[in-house]
Amino acid sequence: MTRNSLKKTAVALGILAFVAVAAVQAQDAKPFIGAWKGTLSIAGQELEIGLNFTLDEAKKIQGTFDSITQGAFGLKLGNFEIKDKTISFVLTDPNVPGEPTFKATLDETGKKLAGDFTQAGYAGTFAVVKQ
């Protein structure tokens, strides 16, 4: 096999691996895609919240957070990790202090997402229902 053939083979395998990873991520994210609404409980307060998950052109999950009670909408989410029916992510908006972090599990119906929330040393819970 020539050196040129080896390069072509390596490039082709690299492309196939990238496509496979993108497909797996999109497949894993699919149950989470959509609009969700519910409540977040922390430090004795209960807030009405919304989560919105989409796939971008590269089939990577993207999201925004709405704190409806506080009048804050469209705050950017990032650092998504999905494993089976569990998802974790961080509120990455630079105007929100304390590195708000979410980790939740999708119930067996695929319609409810519930889990833990932490921010600036405080711990709470949240639960949202798919709209």
Q: Which tokens go with 113? A: 């997402």
Mean predicted lDDT score pLDDT of the chain = 86
- pLDDT band, residue 66 (cuts 50/70/90): very high
- Region 122-129: mean pLDDT is 98
At residue 74's C-alpha, the angle toward residues 70 and 78, to 5°, is 115
Distance CA 46, CA 40 (A): 6
Residues 6+ apart with CB under 8 A from 40: 46, 47, 49, 67, 117, 124, 125, 126
- pLDDT band, residue 1 (cuts 50/70/90): low
- Region 103-121: mean pLDDT is 97
pTM of the model: 0.78
Model confidence over 15-64: pLDDT tens digits?
433 443 443 344 589 999 999 999 999 999 999 999 999 999 999 999 99
Residue ranges of the alpha helices (H) in the chain? 3-29
- Region 76-80: mean pLDDT is 97
Model confidence over 82-105: pLDDT tens digits?
999 999 999 999 999 999 999 999
pLDDT given at position 21: 40
pLDDT given at position 55: 96
pLDDT given at position 52: 98
Q: How far is CA 104 from CA 84, 100, 112, 126, in A?
A: 11, 13, 10, 8
- Domains in the chain: ranges and CATH: 3-130 (2.40.128.20)
